[in-house]
Amino acid sequence: MLRATRASAPHSLGQHTSVLSCAWGRRTLEVLKAEHKLVKWRAEGRCSRCWLQRAHCLCSSLAPLAVATQRVDVAVAVHYKEWGLAKNTAKLLPLVLDGCSAVVHPVHTLPTCGPVLLLFPGEDSQPAGAYREWVAAQHERVTLLVVDGTWNQARTMARQMAGVPRVHISEPARESLVLHRKQPKLGHVSTLEAVALALRALGEEHAEAPLLAALRLACDAHDEVEAGTNSMEMVQKKRAKRERHREDLRTGRRGR
């Protein structure tokens, strides 16, 4: 059974403290850049949990969706360049999943212990459903590690977890619910959608609906902010462009 060592004190999405160690064992330039961004981000006056301007805060709307998993915990490492972005979906995971933790990469390491799986596709990964019986047979909770960022950022983060068994979602190619971010191709869904599908495959089916409901609320909030900060003509142009891209995905044409 593969085990991961517990990291230094876990940090929630709304907290950040100065640290003397990091994922790479020393304070690199990337760590300093990340800490500088966190300082600037906290000064912007956004909600520290949902990352939106306080006038559009989602936290109270998400509270009724909170759900507890039975056997699988989720721990998320968000790349510092992705941290604080209003469009990010991984930020919703700790707001919905009881016990879910999130850290800023590379400032902090993932606070995990016990049997672990890494949600990341690749030649050496297995469909998450292949571990369903394994999860059920464990005498302690399993931690699903999630890396969040661009594909290149996530790939770099995943490389630092060598030896951790990898799993991927094996659902038929589908459109993402997130319309305001460009979907490279069918099946490339948001981080939250991937986690919801992976949890379902691992035996936590009841967590999928609350997670997707939270995502829909976040998408509605984005549309509201977009409409309030752009002219109607600009909003219509943006949405028409996104719809053209979706149509290209459906018909197999290359997205524009």
pLDDT in tens, 95-114: 999 999 999 888 888 766 78
pLDDT band at residue 12 under the 50/70/90 scheme: very low
pLDDT on residue 72? 97
Mean pLDDT highest for which of 30-39, 201-210, 240-249?
A: 201-210
- What mean pLDDT, rounded, does the chain reach? 79
Picking from 242, 249, 247, 124, the residue whose alpha carbon sits closest to that of residue 188 is: 249
Residue with the bigger pLDDT between 92 and 231: it is: 92
pLDDT on residue 137? 97
Give the pLDDT confidence of 26-82 residue by residue, as tens digits: 557 877 877 777 777 777 778 888 888 888 899 999 999 999 999 999 999 999 888
pLDDT band at residue 243 under the 50/70/90 scheme: low
The yes-or-no verdict on residue 247 having pLDDT over 50 is yes
Residue with the bigger pLDDT between 153 and 162: it is: 153
Give the start-to-end residue ranges of the domains of the chain.
Answer: 3-230
The yes-or-no verdict on residue 15 having pLDDT over 80 is no
Phi-psi region of 184 (alpha: psi -120 to 50; beta: other; left: phi over 0): alpha
Phi then psi dihedrals of residue 225, to 5 deg? -65, -45
pLDDT on residue 185? 56
DSSP state of 6: P
C-alpha 206/C-alpha 211 separation (Å) is 10
pLDDT on residue 163? 86
pLDDT on residue 241? 62
